[in-house]
A = this chain, B = another copy of it.
Amino acid sequence: MSRPLLQLALDHTDLQAALRSVSQLKDHVDIIEAGTILCISAGLNAVRTLRQACPDHILVADLKVADAGETLANQAFSAGANWMTVICAAPIATVARAQEVALSYQGEVQIELFGRWTLDDAKSWRDLGVKQAIYHRGRDAQASGQSWGAEDLKAMTALTELGIELSVTGGITPADLPLFKDIAVRAFIAGRALSEAPEPAGVAGDFHRQIDRIWGARK
């Protein structure tokens, strides 16, 4: 199982504030995410600006596409995204269109798992060539006290067995990481845990040390 990457989610409502987080953290993370809040606040200019600020990082456009997969994928990938999220509730035709466009840019679609979805859905995404999903403890679910549980880990294991790599997110801290040691984790996604920390780079270091300890050091 490959070593999970660390992803900085930028969920600022202000692009300049997001860029300040980026300048503090870009040397300490592997992936930069233009979060939904930022994309909606600033539009795809957020993705273009982050591409310029971080030319060598993997860049995610977290659009949670539900429809118009071709148009939105063209918008996201032409703005410089490497990966784009599609919500699990999207019709399979939307996933297919997004995936076609992603491939034409050598990009990837990530299915964002929210609400009701089934393993049959996951098989149909995989059959379209989708390799990634995002396993999410929602911000609001988290605020209302919903924690990581056995059900989460069971679902993540089933997705791992289907060959789908997961990015894991939702108030995650370095202390949570051992929970996921048997899961095919592509990335751990942290937003405010990094950007609002008193010492952001220190927290990123804590994540990397935990990842090294559990999955082995970076080669």
Contacts and interface: CB of A to CB of B under 8 A. Distances in A.
Nearest to A39: B40
A42 B41 CA distance: 9
A143 interface: yes
Interface string A118-132: 100000000000000
A201 interface: no
Interface in A30-73: 36-37, 39-46, 63-64, 66-72
A88 interface: yes
A93 interface: yes
Contacts of A94: 138-141
Contacts of A198: none
A113 to B, nearest CB: 9
B140 A91 contact: yes
Contact of A115 (B39, B71, B75, B116): B116
B75 A40 contact: yes
A133 interface: no
Contacts of A144: 93
Interface of A: 11, 13, 36-37, 39-46, 63-64, 66-72, 75, 87-91, 93-94, 96-97, 112, 114-118, 136, 138-141, 143-144, 146
